[in-house]
Structure 1
Amino acid sequence: MVRRALIVLLLLAGAAGAETGELPALFDVRGVAADDVLNIRAQPRASAEILGTLAPEAEGVEVVDAADGWGQVNAGERAGWVAMRFLVRQTGQEGLPEALACQGTEPFWILRTGAAPAFVTPEREIAVDAPEILRSRNRTDRYGVLAETAAGPLRAIVARETCGDGMSDRAFGFGIDMIFGGKVYSGCCSIGD
């Protein structure tokens, strides 16, 4: 009896993981009435405090983590949870997304890899050539990023992992360690520019 229950639980866990796929990823809100909203809650349960809402037609919602049928999303400077039954994963999201917005603090910096790649600090902005993305040969959650700039080469390792920026209560699904200009920068990334 216990063995059968364990097998059922393992099958259900596998089905839930297949539903969300690799995270973080972008999802669209579906199944919410036009005159309603999808609540973002402080904890992954229906009775938790409401932190914000998503419109019934919201698209491109980044889900950074999942637990028990709930997906972790950001609402302003805070992370919260939405019911995954109202989200549909966008297609074509294998590997590392082309457009990432990475950031770090002390010193403050931003790396954009999408339509207008650039490395930005409060003092300057440096254009970055289209980066080459390399998938790790032995880890499915690690990627190398190689790019050239007028100020020299930029090299980074991006990992699918829970990451916090230390300045907000936002959640990030990618961590980054980068070498640029003879310095090491560490931070977090989200999908998009």
Structure 2
Amino acid sequence: MRLLCGLLLLGTAAAAQSDYPRLHDVVGVASNDVLNVRAGPGASHPIVGELAYDSRAVEVIRVEGNWGLVNVHELPGWTSLRYLAPRVDGDIGNVPRLICGGTEPFWDIDIRPGQSATVKTPVNYEVGDTFSVGLMKRAYNPLEKWVLQGGAGARDLSVVVVKAYCDNGMSDNEYGFDATVIVTGTDGYVLSGCCELAD
């Protein structure tokens, strides 16, 4: 019986871990206070940043115990999950916005699933290429992959997002999604980088 209970608890923990990255809102912090972000998952670690008492759409990348890894001012850090409420629509399949980017070349894409996606590269950074896009769709396989497709005239856009550790080479931030952006048609291109959930 103890073994069965232990296995059930492990399964619950694994399921909870698989829910990340996810957006959260800061809760339970007084309006004259801040939520500390620490160098490690515990109150004994030094403070490396802070979140405002009313911060919204904070992306928790992964968890360790009761602590969540977040990015603050181009630096990853840990904050107590006691003060972070997960959003119902805070997972990759439901968020209103996804922002991805990378280097060599420097680029970014601002995705609003079901609406539009704008890709900016050094060639067109002021205006960007804007595509009408559908919703994020899950591609079921051993790796968790999500696909977004769209178009603009004779050009097509495909974005493949994999739930995996990612380093974009631009900051010390840690990301929970790796992305490949493919534009086909006139002056097509392929880009690789990292994504974060947004509001």
2:104 to 67, 90, 106: 106
Q: Does 1:135 align with 2:138?
A: yes
> In the aligned structure 1, how far is the partner of 2:4 from the partner of 2:73?
40
- Counterpart position of 1:121: 121
Do the aligned residues in 2 keep the contact of 1:126 with 1:151 (CA within 8 Å)? no
Q: Which runs of 5+ in 2 are unaligned?
A: none
Matches within 5 A, 1:80-95: 80-95=77-92
- Does the residue aligned with 2:133 lie in a helix, a strand or coil? coil
% identity of equivalent residues: 37
Do the aligned residues in 2 keep the contact of 1:113 with 1:131 (CA within 8 Å)? no
**Is the deviation greater in 13-22 or in 36-45?**
13-22
Query: Normalized against structure 2, the TM-score is what?
Result: 0.83
> In the aligned structure 2, how far is the partner of 1:169 from the partner of 1:10?
36
- Does the residue aligned with 1:103 lie in a helix, a strand or coil? strand
Q: Does 1:57 align with 2:79?
A: no
Q: Which runs of 5+ in 1 are unaligned?
A: none
Q: How much has 1:59 moved relative to structure 2? A: 1.5
RMSD (Å) for aligned C-alpha atoms: 2.5
Query: Normalized against structure 1, the TM-score is what?
Result: 0.85
Q: How much has 1:56 moved relative to structure 2? A: 1.9
- Counterpart position of 1:175: 178
Query: CA 1:89–1:186 in 2, change beyond 3 Å: closer, same or farther?
Result: same
Task: Report the AA paired with residue 52 of structure 2.
Answer: A
Q: Does 1:190 align with 2:196?
A: yes
- Counterpart position of 2:24: 27
Query: CA 1:31–1:185 in 2, change beyond 3 Å: closer, same or farther?
Result: same
Q: Does 1:153 align with 2:151?
A: no
> In the aligned structure 2, how far is the partner of 1:17 from the partner of 1:38?
26
Q: How much has 1:121 moved relative to structure 2? A: 1.2
Task: Report the AA paired with residue 178 of structure 2.
Answer: G
